[in-house]
């Protein structure tokens, strides 16, 4: 079944071509044609000004709008054969949504000789894994990655695609959304489903983080969103979970691309990467000087943690950007987070409020950081932190 074209009414204006999320409509000698795979989503019907397109009546006799049937997909990001933690976090969230939507969860894995990663994805919550194993996908390059995901989505028609808001996801997912002619909500912090329609409610900070906006993609499919690492919770791995691995061959990868991979250059080395640290000691403008970060480093070293910072501290040139936590920095969720001389601006909170336990040290009892802290210490950090360091040393 596909959309019904009334050729007497169709003027061949081509407006509907752009509306089809899967690019299935085309003009042949001025006549509108539709390829196999129409999902009856109705997007083309809505844009046709001439009433030339309609949906076939359902059994009940109504013209209910159909939705893609490919379930929820997550893009399983790997580099050098190492799975990015965000992939499992996305799977955890996809499973939660899928339970309510009653649809399967699929992971899409790109790379070369990465078959062994499929088991981890199934254990982490995937019902199926689309495995596109190709030398062109061995290293990340936007064009082939975008071409492959677009082709696969056109073929299998997922209802939702979630990907990590990582360097990689940010680089190619917008391109996929554009090729599929659908919307994309970047950097989501929460998802829900609209009660009546089951459409994905995509929440993200807006207007500099001062409000949370919830965005819907009601007329185009797939509904696409990216999520920052460490925002969603992964599930406990279940090694006996069953799932299917579907090897996929894509002709689209055989075409010439304009860019090619040359080499990876590692520039930044962190002793403990912020994203993986279990303890973070973060400092803000209250530190008053860059050299005072030494105090935080000492506490972090004692606790086996890493040092973070607010944008104010980074902008002051006290510490490098790689330490910045927040809306325009990293998102972290350690087990223990020390906020030292940090007021608690919304743009900072969005990057650290999922931490398990938050200790705030601030001389201002009204500082907003205390509203989310598990323990608040009101006082001068230059007295409190040295005392804390001394106590920890003494207790050892
Ligand atoms: C679009 C946009 C994006 C942004 N992105 C980010 C981001 O990613 N990350 C981020 O952090 N910010 C971000 N910001 C900036 C954010 O709005 C705040 O300006 C910033 O977080 C404030 O940093 P702070 O808490 O260090 O400084 P302040 O707000 O100046 O707070 C300093 C605190 O230190 C306390 N203090 C002072 N002396 C002491 C002392 N001796 N002992 C204890 N406490 C003391 C003060 O009481 C005060 O509460 C962004 C802003 C915008 C508009």
Q: Mind listing the pLDDT tens digit for each residue in 249-303? A: 999 999 999 999 998 876 555 567 888 899 999 999 999 999 999 999 999 999 9
Write the DSSP assignment of 258-301 as a string of letters: S------------SS-GGG-SEEEEE-GGG-SGGGHHHHHHHHH
- Does ligand 1 lie within 6 Å of residue 353's CB atom? no
What is the pLDDT confidence band of residue 199, given thresholds at 50, 70 and 90? very high
| pLDDT > 90? residue 1 | no
Total residue length of the chain: 396
Counting residues of the chain whose pLDDT is more than 90, the rounded percentage is 77
The pLDDT value recorded for residue 271 is 65
324 versus 271: the higher-pLDDT residue is 324
What ranges in the chain are assigned the alpha helix state H?
A: 15-19, 43-47, 85-101, 118-123, 142-156, 167-179, 293-303, 311-315, 346-349, 381-395
- From 307, 352, 362, give the residue whose CB has the most ligand 1 atoms within 8 Å, as the site to mutate: 362
Report CA(302)–ligand 1 centroid distance (Å).
Answer: 25
Instruction: Render 256-270 in DSSP notation, one character per residue.
Output: --S------------
* Distance (Å) from CA 5 to ligand 1 centroid: 58
Q: For ligand 1, say whether the CB of 331 is within 6 Å of any of its atoms.
A: no
pLDDT in tens, 207-234: 766 788 999 998 889 999 999 888 899 9
Q: How confident is the model at residue 57 (pLDDT cuts 50, 70, 90)?
A: low
pLDDT at 63 (0 to 100): 47
- Residue 307's Cβ-side half-sphere holds a number of Cα atoms within 13 Å equal to 22
Q: Which of 56-60, 97-101, 278-282, 360-364 has the lowest mean pLDDT?
A: 56-60
Tokens 């933690």 sit at which residue? Answer: 85
What pLDDT does 21 receive?
A: 84
Q: Is 324 in the pocket of ligand 1 (CB under 6 A)?
A: yes
Alpha helices by DSSP H, listed for 22-126, are 43-47, 85-101, 118-123
- Centre of ligand 1 to C-alpha 320, Å, is 16
Whole-number Å distance, alpha carbon 328 to ligand 1 midpoint, is 13
Q: Please name each of the domains of the chain with its CATH number.
A: 4-54 (3.30.70.20), 72-254 (3.40.50.620), 274-395 (3.40.50.1220)
Question: Is any atom of ligand 1 closer than 6 Å to the C-beta of 5?
Answer: no
* Close Cβ partners of 161 (under 8 Å, ≥ 6 residues apart): 73, 74, 75, 149, 153, 176, 222, 223, 224, 225
Residue nearest to atom 31 of ligand 1 (CA): 343
Q: Check if 362 has its Cβ closer than 6 Å to any atom of ligand 1.
A: yes
Distance CA 83, CA 341 (A): 36
Q: CB burial class (10 A; 0-12, 13-18, 19+) of residue 201?
A: middle
Binding site residue list for FAD: 285, 310-311, 324-328, 341-348, 362
Interval between CA 365 and ligand 1 midpoint (Å): 15
Task: Tell me if 312 CB under 6 Å of ligand 1.
Answer: yes
From 310, 373, 388, the mutation candidate for ligand 1 (largest count of ligand atoms within 8 A of CB) is 310
Range name among 28-37, 94-103, 143-152 with the lowest pLDDT average: 28-37
Find out whether 205 and 231 touch, Cβ atoms under 8 Å.
no
Q: Point out the ligand 1 atom lying closest to the alpha carbon of residue 382.
A: 41
Q: Which range is least confidently modeled, 162-171, 182-191, 259-268, 305-314? A: 259-268
List beta partners, residue 306: 280
Tens of pLDDT, residues 114-172: 999 999 999 999 999 999 999 999 999 999 999 999 999 999 999 999 999 998 999 99
- What average pLDDT score do residues 327-352 get? 94
Q: Determine whether the shortest distance from the Cβ of 310 to ligand 1 is under 6 A.
A: yes
């Amino acid at each position: 079944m596909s959309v019904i074209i009334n050729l007497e009414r169709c003027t061949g204006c081509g407006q509907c071509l752009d509306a089809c999320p899967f690019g299935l409509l085309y003009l042949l000698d001025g006549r509108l044609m539709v390829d196999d795979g129409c999902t009856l989503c109705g997007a083309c019907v809505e844009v046709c000004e001439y009433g030339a397109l309609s949906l076939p009546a359902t059994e009940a006799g109504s013209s209910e709008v159909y939705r893609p049937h490919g379930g929820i997909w997550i893009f399983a990001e790997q580099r050098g054969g190492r799975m990015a933690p965000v992939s499992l976090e996305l799977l955890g969230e996809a499973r939660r949504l899928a339970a309510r939507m009653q649809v399967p969860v699929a992971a899409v894995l790109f790379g070369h000789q990465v078959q062994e990663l499929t088991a981890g994805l199934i254990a982490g919550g995937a019902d199926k894994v689309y495995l596109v194993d190709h030398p062109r996908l061995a290293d990340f390059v936007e064009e082939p990655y975008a071409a492959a995901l677009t082709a696969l989505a056109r073929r299998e028609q997922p209802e939702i695609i979630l990907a990590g808001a990582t360097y990689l996801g940010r680089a190619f997912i917008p391109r996929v959304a554009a090729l599929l002619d659908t919307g994309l909500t970047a950097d989501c912090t929460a998802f829900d489903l609209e009660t009546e329609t089951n459409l994905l409610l995509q929440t993200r900070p807006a207007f500099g983080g001062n409000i949370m906006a919830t965005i819907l993609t009601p007329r185009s499919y797939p509904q696409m969103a990216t999520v920052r690492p460490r925002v969603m919770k992964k599930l406990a791995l279940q090694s006996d979970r069953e799932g299917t691995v579907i090897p996929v061959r894509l002709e689209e990868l055989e075409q010439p691309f304009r860019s090619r991979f040359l080499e990876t250059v590692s520039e930044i080395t962190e002793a403990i990467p912020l994203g993986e640290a279990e303890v973070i000691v973060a400092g803000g403008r209250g530190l008053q000087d860059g050299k005072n970060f030494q105090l935080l480093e000492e506490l972090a070293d004692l606790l086996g943690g890493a040092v973070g910072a607010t944008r104010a501290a980074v902008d002051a040139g006290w510490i490098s950007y790689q330490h910045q936590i927040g809306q325009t920095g990293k998102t972290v969720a350690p087990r223990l987070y020390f906020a030292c001389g940090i007021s608690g601006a919304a743009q900072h909170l969005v990057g650290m409020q999922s931490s398990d336990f938050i200790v705030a040290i601030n001389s201002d009892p009204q500082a907003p950081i205390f509203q989310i802290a598990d323990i608040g210490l009101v006082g001068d950090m230059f007295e409190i932190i040295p005392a804390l360091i001394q106590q920890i040393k003494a207790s050892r």
